[in-house]
Structure 1
């Protein structure tokens, strides 16, 4: 599998002076596997930066890592709230900073992992949210562009970000394989249960996995058609995520993701 890894250093809030490793990239690009491997090698714990896996009960459709898949590595900020409860970027930032401090306090390496660009940026750039932003049920990309926060421009050397990118055609194949696997492992029952409990109107149910199968449950689409709709939606999401993470001009591209180990080793030696 041909991957490219983007690496660049940014700053983090002064109150968290210890090292922070961040892994970003589009959905289905292999972030979780890379993060777990690095956590094992460098005594780390994972902080999940995903606007969907924060919800209880949304497991299969969000590709939330199962307990066996976590391989004994502690994962933070999974299953934070129920799908009908508000959760803002400011909420995530606060909890992420708390998790980072706790992990540092145990002498371990915090590894922030995810594809939600606004969540990631809120932590590494120390966004300062105004009162109106904090009161919203969610903050989206449009709000970010409109300046509903203030961004800390301070650059520190205690943060290493590894961005994982898969070639477009290969990524779509990965997404299609994952959708098929989700369906085989109970996605339809999960969608049905969540829709009966929460309805279709809450924002959490607009995630591709759930929205795509609404018409199937209503008898308006076949399972194959609904699955294809999900693949298309996740492919479009991946494109948006790639666009978000490519905005930084400091990115250095390498061809081999195994170099993430060397980069992390060098980074930790410099920050120790």
Structure 2
């Protein structure tokens, strides 16, 4: 089963490319973004608009209320079902997003969770004491610094899981949710990575934040600030504005934090996709005509019919 995935950092043109390819190759789009699942969070998540969709069917957008949680496992199940349904209709599934764990867990037989990792009571007590003094957010940031894979999956209010993830990483050097064996690829996938020069990327991110403010970002963020404990409130572009609403920061300082965290996240996104996936990289920002090369390569890939990938059910039936 053939699947296209368009990945990369924010503000590099993934949405536009996905719609162009969906039109050309009779595709439907599956969002691979952990924040676009929330209803009402449109501006801060750079959610595709109805006009931008231009009639192309999109999946896994607006499937949760802002007070509900959403995990990589939820995405994995729903996206695999969408891929099957899209393919059954004779269309091409196109996954688009920058949430690395979501994309990886979808395309490969990726096991979320880990068993048999070592334990150390002294390490656990150390991190428990740290959390008591500094709070859950500081603990989550410590986890994110050493193990972004686990931090992306574990909510900052789940202190027990954060401590366990830090304990495992310090003892073993690997993520608590990272597979110990090379996972099996589930689809015949074509991975497109979009990127551009760092200076250009950072400028585009800064400009995007300014545009979001003009479009009404503060209204969305203020609504989330009423329930800062929910998972959706931890999204970049929202939580940085909470100090402004509480009178503890100027708007200018809060927006600088949004830009800074957005740039840092873009860097982490690039690191993830470069280190964990075999991606073909293109720069459509500075070289828009490269889309012709992308389309030609996809045409050849679509014409290359491979035998279906074997599933566990196939193996069991032998």
Q: CA deviation at 1:147?
A: 3.2
> What TM-score do you get using the length of structure 2 for normalisation?
0.72
**Residue among 234, 247, 260 paired with 2:294:** 260
2:267 match: 239
Query: Once structures 1 and 2 are overlaid, which stretch shifts more, 70-79 or 235-244?
Result: 70-79
Residues 151 and 19 of structure 1, relative CA distance in 2, 3 Å threshold: farther
Relative contact order (C-alpha < 8 Å, sep 6+): which is higher?
Answer: 1
Query: Once structures 1 and 2 are overlaid, which stretch shifts more, 209-218 or 141-150?
Result: 141-150
Residues 26 and 76 of structure 1, relative CA distance in 2, 3 Å threshold: same
* Whole-Å separation in 2 of the counterparts to 1:128 and 1:151: 10
Conserved in 2, the CA contact under 8 Å of 1:53 and 1:59?
yes
Query: Once structures 1 and 2 are overlaid, which stretch shifts more, 71-80 or 254-263?
Result: 254-263
1:87 match: 70
The SS at the match of 1:112 is: strand
Q: CA deviation at 1:121?
A: 0.2
> What TM-score do you get using the length of structure 1 for normalisation?
0.83
Q: CA deviation at 1:57?
A: 1.4
Conserved in 2, the CA contact under 8 Å of 1:126 and 1:151?
no
* Whole-Å separation in 1 of the counterparts to 2:49 and 2:299: 28
* Whole-Å separation in 2 of the counterparts to 1:234 and 1:28: 10
Deviations 1:214-243 (A, max 9, x none): 122123333222221111110000000000
Map 1:42-121; keep pairs closer than 5 Å: 42-121=25-104
* Whole-Å separation in 2 of the counterparts to 1:156 and 1:213: 40
Structure 1 or 2: larger helix share? 2
1:139 match: 153
CA radius of gyration, larger in: 2
Query: Once structures 1 and 2 are overlaid, which stretch shifts more, 214-223 or 237-246?
Result: 214-223
2:244 match: 216
Conserved in 1, the CA contact under 8 Å of 2:241 and 2:254?
yes
Residues 151 and 99 of structure 1, relative CA distance in 2, 3 Å threshold: farther
State the Cα RMSD in Å. Answer: 2.6
Tell me the matched-pair count.
Answer: 250
* Whole-Å separation in 1 of the counterparts to 2:114 and 2:281: 38
* Whole-Å separation in 2 of the counterparts to 1:103 and 1:57: 26
Quick check: 1:167 aligned with 2:197? yes
* Whole-Å separation in 1 of the counterparts to 2:249 and 2:187: 51
Residues 42 and 252 of structure 1, relative CA distance in 2, 3 Å threshold: closer
* Whole-Å separation in 1 of the counterparts to 2:154 and 2:300: 35
The SS at the match of 1:73 is: coil
Query: Once structures 1 and 2 are overlaid, which stretch shifts more, 55-64 or 252-261?
Result: 252-261
Residues 140 and 30 of structure 1, relative CA distance in 2, 3 Å threshold: farther
Quick check: 1:30 aligned with 2:30? no
Structure 1 or 2: larger strand share? 1
Conserved in 1, the CA contact under 8 Å of 2:193 and 2:280?
no
Residues 56 and 157 of structure 1, relative CA distance in 2, 3 Å threshold: closer
